[in-house]
A = this chain, B = another copy of it.
Amino acid sequence: MTTEPISPSPYSRDLDPVAANYAPLTPLSFLTRAASVYPQRLAWIHGERQATYAQFAARCRRLASALARHGIGAGDTVAIMASNIPAMLESHYGVPMTGAVLNALNIRLDSASLAFMLEHGEAKVLLTDREFAPVIEAALTLLKQNGRSVFVIDIDDPEYDGPGNRLGEIEYESFLETGDPEYVSRGPVHEWDAIALNYTSGTTGNPKAVVYHHRGAYLLAMGNLLAWNMTAAPVYLWTLPMFHCNGWCFPWTLSAVGGTHVCLRRVEATAIFRAITRHRVTHLCGAPIVLSLLVNAPDRPRFEHTVEIMTAASAPPSSVIAAMEEMGFHVTHVYGLTEVYGPATVCDWHPEWNLLPAAERAKKKARQGVNYAVLEGLMVADPETMQPCPADGTTLGEVMMRGNIVMKGYLKNPQATEEAFRDGWFHTGDLAVVHPDGYIELKDRSKDIIISGGENVSTIEVEDVLYRHPAVLDAAVVARPDEKWGETACAFICLKPTAGATTSDEVIAFCRQNMAGFKVPKTVVFGELPRTSTGKIQKHLLRERARQL
């Protein structure tokens, strides 16, 4: 060892970042490269329309340019209400190219929720598909009442021939025409700059506004490739809503490997099967309800090639996995939350597990698994002491995550951000065990949330509406297992003594007027609610009762 006096390391001198050796990480760079390397390869297919990567990139630049000419730039929000169509894909590039932030809205939401999001997110532009004109029109009216105006661009998709007025100043294709196909991207300045805004309905019922940055989107785009063993030129079918965590970042992942997006307005078994065969789809994602849709479809096909399907969160039962495999699907199980850009854990498959009996294999696959390669930390721990739970398969703890694919935080909600990030970890609110091999398995969702058809339903939000019904004294909403939807909301109601005769149908109709359809309870049970001595409703008892219904 040298015994020289301590001096600053030479590695800290004259080696600072400069233009030649530092660029902000951004998934936008994948598109630049794909357009240059595979200009003639198909970027997207939508019905009879299609675009090569050269065309796709030019359309994204046109969108960016047109938005920039309308004053959109760094830190602005651009919202979109659309299903999985090219305009939605192009917004994932065109919007951040201006430095702005994409807010993809849940197309199943009600006008009040949408108005809240447009207001809270301060959207300056809204792109909206004609199909959603009624609910958007109502939302815009609400916004106007609050003194806010939004520049509206209609998307008149040739693949949609249903009703719906145009609401805005200009149609999407005409808007693109006003843009410059040679526009030079202005975003991001820093890789920490926001790229997307996604509202999540947390357990408290207040939608939280999750902010993603370019760095995280770049890394999860890569992480998806690793988790799914994706190689060059996949053909990806859009069965997962792009408004869910930006389609788990797959709009960006695909550009990194020059893949082809197959768009899909509506998730229907026949359309999915047809697309898989016609375009030789190699990959698709979906909530368990998509698997169940395919398995229960009449005329199930048997594909000539293996189709990789990634599904999230709740474990597909072994019978579903077996039926999927029979058709030619191979199922990968992931888990994540809006706060981590989509999937953050994967049930990373060990080849030796293929030798296990089907039931054992399904048990392995039912686990949420291990951290994505781009998620630096994953643990199941006691949220009070932050002590990791033993890997015994039985001790319940809260799933904690840390690393570069954890959100920037909640927009305009520093308190919620701090709370979520306390003790240096993102607290998922989900409860799990750790198996002896280190794989985690969720045992309970965060106490209250209901997942119905892949959508989060906040019980407190539903309860708030119920409490507004004049006959309701006490209300509690819990999940009820449902074969088709995974879960549905089940309402337990104690009526006021003064209330006249009140029926389930009446309560359900009242809910329907006051919330998005997917949140409406499918079951209503009347009676006294069980409470603790301190007066808290004992939801675990209600969940048990709902299960037994």
Evaluate contact between A426 and B33: CB separation under 8 angstroms. no
Given the complex of chains A and B, what is the CA–CA distance between A442 and B13 in angstroms? 34
Contact with B along A114-151 (1 / 0, CB 8 A): 00000000101000000000000000000000001101
Q: Write out the residue numbers on chain B whose beta carbons fall within 8 Å of the beta carbon of A315.
A: none
Evaluate contact between A424 and B19: CB separation under 8 angstroms. yes
Partner of A211, one of B11, B225, B377, B426: B11
Query: How many protomers of this protein does the assembly include?
Result: 2
Q: Write out the residue numbers on chain B whose beta carbons fall within 8 Å of the beta carbon of A12.
A: 75
Given the complex of chains A and B, what is the CA–CA distance between A233 and B417 in angstroms? 38
Taking CB atoms and an 8 Å cut-off, the chain A residues in 368-419 that contact chain B are: 370-371, 373, 376-377, 401-404, 406-409, 411-414, 417
Is A194 located at the chain interface by the 8 A CB criterion? yes
Given the complex of chains A and B, what is the CA–CA distance between A8 and B95 in angstroms? 19
Contact with B along A329-372 (1 / 0, CB 8 A): 00000000000000000001011000000000000000000110
Is A38 located at the chain interface by the 8 A CB criterion? yes
- Which B residue's beta carbon lies closest to that of A25? B404
Contact with B along A199-236 (1 / 0, CB 8 A): 00000000000010000100000100110010111000
Partner of A11, one of B11, B20, B101: B101
- Which B residue's beta carbon lies closest to that of A346? B37
The number of chain A residues with a CB under 8 A from chain B is 77
* Minimum CB–CB distance for A473 against chain B, Å: 40
Given the known inter-chain contacts A231-B229, A412-B10, please indicate yes or no for A20 contacting B406, CB distance below 8 A. Answer: yes
Partner of A149, one of B2, B20, B75, B231: B2
Name the 5 nearest CB pairs between A and B, nearest first: A9-B75, A19-B424, A229-B231, A14-B414, A21-B406
Partner-B contacts on A (CB < 8 A) = 1-2, 8-15, 17-23, 25, 29-30, 33, 36-39, 70-71, 74-76, 101, 122, 124, 148-149, 151, 192-194, 211, 216, 222, 225-226, 229, 231-233, 256-257, 348, 350-351, 370-371, 373, 376-377, 401-404, 406-409, 411-414, 417, 420-421, 424-426, 438
